[in-house]
Structure 1
Amino acid sequence: MARTRSFDRDAVLAAAGNAFRQHGYRDASIAELERATGLVSGSIYNAFGDKAGLFRAALEHYVHGFVRQRVAAFAGADAGLEQLEQLYLSVLEPPLSDGYGCLVNNSIIEFGTAPGIASDGIAETLTLVREGIASVLAREIGSVGAESEAMQLVLLYHGVLTLSRSGTSLEAMRGAVSATFERLHASRAQHNKKQ
């Protein structure tokens, strides 16, 4: 008779995701994953198949439990430029300001977009972020120019996530975000005058 699982799957996946966020997939050893999750290797293999299975599950949990919530909160159907700016500024606050970056962004750097264990989570996140940003911009500054502005903001978003791992001054990044959104607020004012 098989034993039933006696662990909190969400807590394990959050802890594993944090370990992968800190060490990367390749450098996160089974021993490190055991320490992070509180599971022994046998439980990890029984529940997730292998390290790759745990990574896939942790990345999916991160995308659905963290990224989706952030995009909905800061770039959802009712969001304006003020909320969108908070998406950027929140990257410079805990938990993302701890110097380890974002699990998805780190996976983009580690794996690229080649098919593999991270490709679904990467593709889903890139789409969520791009569409969320584009939707806010279309509402706030109009459709003319929104697409190129959206791409600039996607680049800024992933740049901030990457540089948050580099020791780059958080204040300097806040300044860049603020300058970008000052320009967007001016664009919104121009758009509203034309209405």
Structure 2
Amino acid sequence: MGRTRTFDRDAVLFAAANAFRQRGFRDVSIAELEKATGLVSGSIYNAFGDKAGLFRAALHHYVHGFVKQRLDAFAGESATLEDLEGLILSTLEPPLSDGFGCLVTNSIVEFGREEGLASADIADTLVMTETAIGDVLARELGPATPEAATLHLMTLYHGVLTLSRSRVPTAAMAAMVRAEFARLKALRDGAREKNRN
């Protein structure tokens, strides 16, 4: 009887997520996944069922690990507009500045509204992002902040992640983000000044 081989599941899912982030689900081959993860195809199939199973596990790991950690760090309970600005600007820095974007954003583009392979984790990410951004805006601009302001920043966030895969200059995207947050900070500071008088 052969012995069961063990592997570091987190490391494998991280490597697989990176391979899917770079090539997309449809375009990455099993051979590329073997090379990225260090697993042979038999181990991939035994552990995850198939390529789709590995993708689901890698996307889930990415969303509930990497994305959630970023949202907690930049848009947690005491986050300010400055922190939220840092969240979006950080997408223009490593590891997301490598020209391959974000696995979630790329999956939104690849799968669209299609129900199935990526839809649950895409939905989780959108809810987490909307909640985090909305909470910061409500704290900083007041509870009556329109929902459109949250959607505007979600669009900005995912737009920058999408454009990071293009030839749009990073400096131009950073300037646009800073300009938007300068506007929001002026609104916040104006409201605070009004409340003091």
TM-score for both structures, normalised by structure 2: 0.96
CA deviations on 1:118-159 (whole Å, 9 max, x unpaired) are 001100001111110000000001123342211110110010
Query: Which structure shows the higher helix fraction?
Result: 1
Q: CA RMSD in A?
A: 1.1
Aligned counterparts, 1:36-185, within 5 A: 36-185=36-185
* In structure 2, distance between residues paired with 1:49 and 1:151: 37
SS at match of 1:97: coil
Q: Is the 8 A contact 1:134 1:146 kept in 2?
A: no
* In structure 1, distance between residues paired with 2:86 and 2:166: 21
* In structure 2, distance between residues paired with 1:6 and 1:66: 23
> Where does residue 20 of structure 1 map in the other structure?
20
Matched letter for residue 92 of structure 2: L
* In structure 2, distance between residues paired with 1:182 and 1:159: 18
**In the TM superposition, what is the alpha-carbon distance from 1:115 to its structure 2 partner?**
1.3
Structure 2's unaligned 5+ residue stretches are none
Matched letter for residue 97 of structure 2: S
SS at match of 2:152: helix
Runs of 4+ in 1 over 4 A off after TM superposition: none
> Where does residue 189 of structure 1 map in the other structure?
189
Query: How many residues in Structure 1 have an aligned counterpart in Structure 2?
Result: 195
Quick one: structure 1 residues 75 and 146, their matched pair in 2 at CA, closer, same or farther if it must change by over 3 Å?
Answer: farther
CA deviations on 1:38-92 (whole Å, 9 max, x unpaired) are 0000000000000000000000000011000001111111100111000001000
Matched letter for residue 34 of structure 1: E
Matched letter for residue 83 of structure 2: Q
Matched letter for residue 157 of structure 1: Y
Percent identity reads 65
* In structure 1, distance between residues paired with 2:18 and 2:184: 34
SS at match of 1:101: coil
**In the TM superposition, what is the alpha-carbon distance from 1:191 to its structure 2 partner?**
2.0
TM-score for both structures, normalised by structure 1: 0.97
